[in-house]
Structure 1
């Protein structure tokens, strides 16, 4: 069953990556997903990045309190500082409450997490 249902919150992070290969970004991004999965109130994540460097990551949370706790997690703070210092040329973070959800086909077969360049 998908816990990302109406009433939960979505943190929508859109970004433009800088052109700096092998700068530690992929390692940090993987670490952040693993760490977020272990946080109370985390429900899921979907992410994609195109070849032009534009990306979008949507993480889902049970409450605004869970989102705030994630924002202030020490390792997440370090990752955000890395983003500002050089991984991103621009980004926007939006927080929204999920009102409706629609699906096609078997929701159990829908991707939980998209990968880069999908």
Structure 2
């Protein structure tokens, strides 16, 4: 599903990852993080896809302060550490400001 976002400007956090083999609690943790993120002030939406080990998740936020608060959330910090230790062989996070957005729906 494509996230519904307000008119720009807003921010996008792009998380690209390569998974290790097996679930090892990943599915539960990912669902919990989505649940928690939706409760955070400034959270606007999320889009996620995974194929052949490569996953890309884009979360949308109203401000850099909202992103920073999410990064400092204690449960989110613990899950990020678990990700480094268990679930990911590699990942990269990018934060960008969305200044223009275009949409089409048929």
Residue 5 of structure 1, CA deviation? 2.9
Q: What is the Cα-based RMSD across aligned positions, in Å? A: 1.1
Gaps of 5+ in 2: none
Q: Secondary structure at the match of 2:70?
A: helix
> Counterpart of 1:69?
69
Structure 1's consecutive aligned runs of 4 or more residues displaced over 6 angstroms after TM superposition are none
Question: Which TM-score applies when normalising by structure 2?
Answer: 0.93
> Counterpart of 1:46?
47
Mapping for residues 75-86 of structure 1, pairs under 5 Å: 75-86=75-86
Gaps of 5+ in 1: 107-118
Tell me whether 1:10 sits opposite 2:12 in the alignment: yes
Q: Counting strand residues as a fraction of each chain, which structure ranks higher?
A: 2
Q: Secondary structure at the match of 2:105?
A: coil
Question: Which TM-score applies when normalising by structure 1?
Answer: 0.84
Tell me, yes or no, if the aligned pair for 1:14 and 1:92 is still in contact at 8 Å. Answer: yes
> Counterpart of 1:30?
31
Q: Secondary structure at the match of 2:82?
A: helix
> Counterpart of 1:92?
92
